[in-house]
Amino acid sequence: MFSSKEEFKKSFITRIESKDMRKTTELAYEILREMTCEWIKESWDRTNGLYKENDEKQLYYFSIEFLIGRVLGQNLMNINAYDIVKEGLDELGFQLSEVEELEVEPGLGNGGLGRLAACFMDSLASLQLPGHGYGLRYKGGLFTQHFVNGYQTEQPTEWIQEEHNADARREDLAIDIPYYGDVQLVMGTDGLKMKVENSEWVKAVPYDMPIVGANGGTVNTLRLWQAEVSNFPFPGDKDYLVYEQETAKITDRLYPDDSLESGKILRLKQQYFLCSASLQDILNNRSFSMEKLPENVAIQINDTHPALAVPELMRLLIDDHHLTWEQAWDITTRTISYTNHTILEEAMEKWDSRLIQSLLPRVYTIIEEIDKRFKESLETQTIDEETFRKLSIIENGVIKMAVLAVVGSYKVNGVAKLHTEILKKREMKELNEQFPNKFHNKTNGIAHRRWLVKANQELSGLITETIGPRWIEEPERLNELHYFAQNHSFLQDFQAIKTLKKEQLLYHLQRNENIIVDPASIFDIHIKRVHGYKRQLMNIMHIQMLCDRIKQDSTYRPHPRTFFFGGKAAPSYHFAKQVIKMINTVAVKVNNDPLLRKHLHIVFVENYNVTQAEYLIPAADVSEQISTASKEASGTGNMKLMMNGALTIGTLDGANVEIFEQAGQENAFVFGMRAEEVMQYEKEQSYDPKEIINSDPEIKKMMKQLVDGEWTEGKENVDFIVGQLLEDRDPYFVLKDIHSYSNAHERILAAYANPVKWAEMCVKNIAASGIFSSDRTIQQYSNDVWHLTKIPSVY
Ligand code: T68
């Protein structure tokens, strides 16, 4: 790596001149990417060498999604070259920020779960822990969202630039994965064995991505598998053309459903592909005896999507490595641990037994055996029918992946305190009683290096000037900012940076869309997947309420606010898509109304993704975290916004609870029902939105306007929104919580009227946010679950 700006410039110029005399930003991007890869390669080789030498335990994080976002700028940052490169390029007539804009972000994830995996990768490498990711190399990441007449449309997003990947491909490590086939019992030298014949094989080719830790010392590996046709013999009675097409499909696209269980065969193929390839890779490359697997390897499964790792590891240990069932089970259940990310019924993965039996016949026999043995182990207890049903892995021809994951792993965690409590006391109560020491909490975290150090370099600079640089390595030191929460000059600097970040956001948005926004307005930001439980509908209905107040009450003239929305709806989630349409419809009305637009502005940012988030989050004044209590397992956007000095308006849900605990409820705007209340209503089915409509004139009026189509466009839109609130009985308690939400918004306006006090509250939030760094989360996983040893990189 170069040590000075001059050295960088020299090398850059030599390269640019050897390629092309036209000095375009595109060429600068190519060269910078190439140079960065070379610098990283050295550390990467060294890290791999150290891991081999040390024989230390390795962690493998199995995830169907890794939403890593752009990597070039982050890598430069992590190798401490960002400033040198920026200045060097500047002097050569390029702007680094423009160069960075050319990178197509790999959107290999839907939302929180995929982004969490990416933050964890960053923290593992930065803490110098031997932890790697296994995922899938989807040709198309999450779709690109455009609005046409206010409706979401979806286009495929292709992120791969093949010429960049020549060295990432590891053909030498390709593995073959068996699908279908006939299971037979055969007599081997050591007794009866299961054998599968006539399998259809698919080749898994790994592509490696470097994960660069802070200061560039440790570089771990994210290995992504790509499906290709296999060279193994192909069963004669099948159609090879169909096989070719189906093979390509396995890693062709990311499933765009963020919280729906799809139950499709392609999804099952993807899941097994990830598990089998990764496990074979681990077992092939080990340097220890198989019995020592749990001492040498930890496998974390990110939700149930890779839960087939349990039966697949059993299959490999028994069929390929000739262990007994008991030995294999002992090893498996000391190697695998599982993270649960949801309690939403519709997201709980269930597979039709017949589907697994046909696609993965051998794996199916193993799942049956696991289920049978687990049920036998329950026979000594007196267990009622309901409990027995809940504990069954296979029930009425359906395989429940969450139960399989719990039974087959040694630790199970939820992602925030409240979520873990709900898991233990309700959703998985019976399992928790069977395995009392398995369940634990690991509250999520975020990579502060991306979400603060990189995304908000100005604020990071100010923090470093104020408390010194140590907070970057130890983010909990951000609490030293408490001493400056009343320091006027610090608060002024903070405010100036907030304004700058707002202007930068607007500049960025204007490049892509024609948006004129007042930077002096309150930036109120609601960014996340669009879903009923995340209640974008409540936000837009509240805006509807505000419009009415402004029109009816000439004394109600609130400080201007810009409500930003960003988020995609799953293509098959019709209600969410209608909410998008409604927001866009209200936006047009409000933004064009001469009176309303003085006070309210609505911007729905198209195609919300990691890159957009990096612009939006530092610019936020208000962070909308308004899920129906009990539904949001954790949330991580809430942490990113807090860390950038936005104040949270939120329910007591997921990690919001811990955010309020840390920052103090007086430095946030808490509202709405609590989780117990919601769950009680759900249990009793006693919530009736009509009662609220009939007893509350303001809500009644809003409903009438909705039914009359004043805020929607087209009958379909009215029908969906009104239908959800009336016929479907408002399943996410929008009408129940909207008054309390509206009051919280009035408290925001009151607080904002005092800019110094507001800034003080923001700073208190930043100061309290260090605990939400994923470095803390990863250290806790390592201490309690994985037991990894830090391997300092030596130069
Ligand atoms: C999210 N889950 C949780 N799921 O909703 C969020 N689901 O509260 C939490 O903070 C985050 O996980 C990290 O723990 C998801 O993002 C998915 O994206 C998903 C994807 C495929 C299938 C089901």
**Residues 128-157 pLDDT 10s:** 999 999 999 999 999 999 999 999 999 999
Q: Is 66 in contact with 237 (CB distance < 8 Å)?
A: no
Q: Is 140's C-beta closer than 6 angstroms to any atom of ligand 1?
A: no
Phi, psi at residue 218, to the nearest 5°?
-95, 130
387 catalytic per annotation? no
Note the pLDDT tens digit of each residue in 233-282: 888 778 999 999 999 999 999 999 998 888 899 999 999 999 999 999 99
Q: Is 701 in contact with 508 (CB distance < 8 Å)?
A: no
> Is residue 682 situated within a structural domain?
no
- The catalytic residue among 636, 648, 651, 777 is 636
Q: Which percentage of the chain shows pLDDT scores above 90?
A: 93
Residue 795 has pLDDT above 70, yes or no: no
**Predicted complex: ipTM over 0.95:** yes
Structure tokens at 330: 């002992």
User: pLDDT at position 235, please?
Assistant: 83
Average pLDDT in the 524-529 region? 99
The amino acid occupying position 577 is: K
Could you tell me which residues come within 8 angstroms of residue 147 by beta carbon, excluding any fewer than 6 positions away? Answer: 153, 580, 584, 604, 606
- The catalytic residue among 223, 501, 640, 745 is 640
Residues 391, 332 share a domain: yes
The C-alpha atoms of residue 224 and residue 619 are separated, in whole angstroms, by 34
Distance 254 CA to ligand 1 centre (A): 14
If you take atom 21 of ligand 1, which residue's CA is the nearest one? 258
Residues 658, 579 share a domain: yes
| pLDDT confidence tier of residue 191, bands split at 50, 70 and 90 | confident
Residues 431, 455 share a domain: no
Q: Is 775 in contact with 472 (CB distance < 8 Å)?
A: no
If one counts the domains in the chain, the total is 2
Residues 473, 435 share a domain: no
Residues 321, 234 share a domain: yes
Q: Is 737's C-beta closer than 6 angstroms to any atom of ligand 1?
A: no
Note the pLDDT tens digit of each residue in 364-390: 999 999 999 999 999 999 999 999 999
Average pLDDT in the 153-178 region? 88
Residues 619, 561 share a domain: yes
341 catalytic per annotation? yes
Residues 467, 593 share a domain: yes
> Is residue 15 situated within a structural domain?
no
Q: Is 445's C-beta closer than 6 angstroms to any atom of ligand 1?
A: no
User: pLDDT at position 1, please?
Assistant: 65
- In ligand 1, the atom with minimum distance to the C-alpha of 632 is 8
Distance 59 CA to ligand 1 centre (A): 21
Structure tokens at 785: 């679950």
Beta strands of 379-488 (E only): which ranges? 394-395, 398-400, 411-414, 439-441
> Is residue 43 situated within a structural domain?
no
Q: Is 627's C-beta closer than 6 angstroms to any atom of ligand 1?
A: no
528 catalytic per annotation? yes
Q: Is 788 in contact with 125 (CB distance < 8 Å)?
A: no
The C-alpha atoms of residue 48 and residue 103 are separated, in whole angstroms, by 27
Q: Is 471 in contact with 589 (CB distance < 8 Å)?
A: no
Q: Is 633's C-beta closer than 6 angstroms to any atom of ligand 1?
A: yes
Burial (CB count within 10 angstroms: exposed 0-12, middle 13-18, buried 19+), residue 169: middle
| pLDDT confidence tier of residue 162, bands split at 50, 70 and 90 | confident
Structure tokens at 96: 């680094």
Q: What is the CATH number of the domain that holds 210?
A: 3.40.50.2000
Residues 504, 487 share a domain: yes
Residue 59 has pLDDT above 60, yes or no: yes
Residues 239, 116 share a domain: yes
Ligand 1, from 254, 266, 342, 528: best to mutate by most atoms within 8 Å of Cβ? 342
Residue 458 has pLDDT above 70, yes or no: yes
- The catalytic residue among 315, 362, 501, 529 is 529
Phi, psi at residue 523, to the nearest 5°?
-90, 105
User: pLDDT at position 474, please?
Assistant: 98
Residues 516, 398 share a domain: no
> Is residue 339 situated within a structural domain?
yes
Burial (CB count within 10 angstroms: exposed 0-12, middle 13-18, buried 19+), residue 686: exposed
What is the tally of helices (H) and strands (E) in the chain? Answer: 32, 22
636 catalytic per annotation? yes
Mapping DSSP to helix (H, G, I), strand (E, B) and coil, where does residue 774 land? helix
Q: Is 349's C-beta closer than 6 angstroms to any atom of ligand 1?
A: no
Note the pLDDT tens digit of each residue in 637-666: 999 999 999 999 999 999 999 999 999 999
Strands of 297-302's sheet, edge to edge?
A: 175-179, 200-212, 219-229, 131-136, 58-62, 297-302, 336-339, 411-414, 439-441
Range of the domain at 571: 448-673+734-772
> Is residue 691 situated within a structural domain?
no
Residues 561, 469 share a domain: yes
User: pLDDT at position 192, please?
Assistant: 81
